[in-house]
Structure 1
Amino acid sequence: MVATGLAFAGLNVAVQWASVTAGATAPAIAFWQYAIALALAAPLVWRGGVHILHTRHIFLHLARVLLAAAGVQLWIHSLSVVPIWQAIALAMTSPFFVVAGAGLILRERVDFARIAATAAGFAGAMIIIAPWSESFTHHAFLPVLAAACWAGTSLITKYLTRLEPTAGITVYLLLLLTPINAAIWLGSGFEIPPQAAWGALLVAGALTGLAQYLLTWAYASADAAYLQPFDDLKLPFNIVAGWLVFGAAPTSGFWPGAALIVAASLYLMRCERTVAA
């Protein structure tokens, strides 16, 4: 899950570069990002065989892809109007949806430690974005909506890992999401990305495939509720990446908020190790 966070941090920087710096549109970025990821994921099918795509749960895959598509479009648009550090912080609302769904839908154990760690991580995110400040606008709802969509995607992913192989689940997402993104791109006017955006799109595509595989692997290995505080680590990863690439320095509230997020993740890790022992 930590490796997933690092991959998503690089992905978000690449997407923001293609959008803000190079001027590519959100629908075009989404299509090429996932089309490139699908092409790079082909070796998974070659290695595992076509049988990894055999499924009896096609409707779950479709529901997962529709939620992912909505989340991708909302997220890419948000990165063009919201600072990356603020967008990531708002996306940290996703664990609340996942933890609730993990208990109600997946019937996982959601004890006090998991709830407390998730709440602490969210509190850290709130300290960072400071919703009471003048910089908080209606655009901030875009990452929150994206987070809700991705929470639904995560819950379906976790359920599918009980039934199907990691590689197949990863490829199905890319395989079904690419034509949906293509339709959205065509409907938006089919604007070709500028030449300056292609390097960032290639990086985004590679990191998209890697991040999705690592994320599915994580859900195949541990409870969804347990993993959510580690998902909060994406926030400091993205802050550092955005600062290094764009020089977007966070506000003074970032450091105590980030410290709270990291502390929540370490606290949950310690609790889980104690239970396992």
Structure 2
Amino acid sequence: MATDRLLPAIVLRLVSVVFFAAMNAVIKLAQIHGASVAEILFYRQFGAALLVGSVIACGPGLRSVATQRIPAHIGRAIVGLSAMAFTFSGIVALPLAEATTIGFSVPIFATILGALILREPTGWHRWVAVATGFVGVLVVAQPGGAHVPVAGAACAVAGALGTAAVSILLRRIGRTEAPLTTVFWFSTLSLVPMGLIYAQVAQAHDRAAWACLAGVGLLGGCAQIAMTWSLKLGPVTLVVPMDYSSLLWATLFGWLIFGALPPAATWAGAPIIIGSGLYIVWREHVRRREETRQAASQGLS
């Protein structure tokens, strides 16, 4: 792949990380100002749907997102919304740095689900990385400790598991669907159940809360677009490691906005989780490269 595409891919991924980190901070602010998780979820998807729909309408056109796989997109929306609900609950309950660090366990869960559901070959190297990553999660979560609420940590872990399940679904959907098509249908289909729920929980807010809710949708939509385009320009093994820079932003926002700094346990567990995740990504790259080499050899023989 040309280097003039790799640099934009890295930049877009880093930009998406900043947007997601800012969105997480605004989620906590929205909750502080009285918004419920259900309301935050609705405006996250509503804002993203408006933004993504506008980008598509002004660019390739709405015909470009026509699909024959509505059931697959509905399944992705159900799993994605569930994962997002748990993730947002974790963000609300935990300090930003801790919620972000636990979220780094997504590659660990993706490895397990890939082996169980997709029957992907998973050698002992990656199983050791999975076990090591869970040790890191335990270090950060500190079961029984006072700093990290058990319910909040459980929600964060469930959110990571759900996000990993989404990645498995996207591997299947991505065989026939373009990235923007997937993002568009996820955002729009989500509005159906979230609209029904929102009608039951909607409440009056002050200007600060409304500004936060609007910010969640705008930041989430921008982050989603930047992340999607980064994957179009660069391989997963190049852009995904950029996600770990979100811990720096989570720590910065947590300190500047909420006056919270991560304890020693978070700094001890984060490198373990990040290291295991990077190793899993690297082993996946090695596996795919070997499969490509074998396929090429068989084609020449």
Normalising by the smaller structure, the TM-score range is 0.7 to 0.9
2-side partners of 1:131 and 1:218: how far apart? 36
1-side partners of 2:243 and 2:277: how far apart? 9
Q: Which residue of 2 aligns with 1:171?
A: 184
Q: Which residue of 2 aligns with 1:29?
A: 40
Change (3 A) 1:45 1:156: farther
Pairing 1:196–2:208 present? yes
- CA-to-partner distance for each residue in 1:118-159, whole Å, 9 max, x for gaps? 544443333222224234433432222222222222211222
Match of 1:137 among 147, 150, 156: 150
Change (3 A) 1:179 1:32: same
Determine if contact 1:158/1:216 at 8 Å carries over to the other structure.
Answer: no
Q: Deviation of residue 272 (structure 1)?
A: 7.0
Change (3 A) 1:11 1:211: same
Pairing 1:57–2:69 present? yes
Determine if contact 2:86/2:155 at 8 Å carries over to the other structure.
Answer: yes
Determine if contact 2:101/2:270 at 8 Å carries over to the other structure.
Answer: no
Match of 1:212 among 190, 213, 224: 224
Q: Which residue of 1 aligns with 2:257?
A: 245
Change (3 A) 1:169 1:126: same
Pairing 1:162–2:180 present? no
Match of 2:90, SS state, is helix
1-side partners of 2:144 and 2:172: how far apart? 37
Pairing 1:90–2:99 present? no
Match of 1:14 among 5, 20, 26: 26
Change (3 A) 1:253 1:154: same
Q: Deviation of residue 262 (structure 1)?
A: 4.1
Q: Deviation of residue 231 (structure 1)?
A: 5.1
Determine if contact 1:82/1:140 at 8 Å carries over to the other structure.
Answer: yes
Change (3 A) 1:46 1:59: same
1-side partners of 2:280 and 2:155: how far apart? 29
Q: Deviation of residue 219 (structure 1)?
A: 5.9
After the TM superposition, which of the residue ranges 112-121 and 64-73 deviates more from structure 2? 112-121
Determine if contact 1:87/1:140 at 8 Å carries over to the other structure.
Answer: yes
Pairing 1:103–2:106 present? no
Determine if contact 2:79/2:165 at 8 Å carries over to the other structure.
Answer: yes
Percent of pairs with identical residues:
25
TM-score, normalised via structure 1 length:
0.82
Determine if contact 2:89/2:156 at 8 Å carries over to the other structure.
Answer: no
In structure 1, the gaps of 5 or more residues are: none
In structure 2, the gaps of 5 or more residues are: 1-12, 291-301
Q: Give the total of aligned pairs.
A: 274
2-side partners of 1:236 and 1:165: how far apart? 31
Determine if contact 2:126/2:279 at 8 Å carries over to the other structure.
Answer: no
User: Which has the higher Rg, Structure 1 or Structure 2?
Assistant: 2
Q: Which residue of 1 aligns with 2:85?
A: 73
Match of 1:134, SS state, is coil
Q: Deviation of residue 89 (structure 1)?
A: 3.5
Q: CA RMSD in A?
A: 3.2
Change (3 A) 1:219 1:159: farther
Determine if contact 2:113/2:168 at 8 Å carries over to the other structure.
Answer: yes
TM-score, normalised via structure 2 length:
0.76
For residue 44 of structure 1, what is the amino acid of its counterpart? I
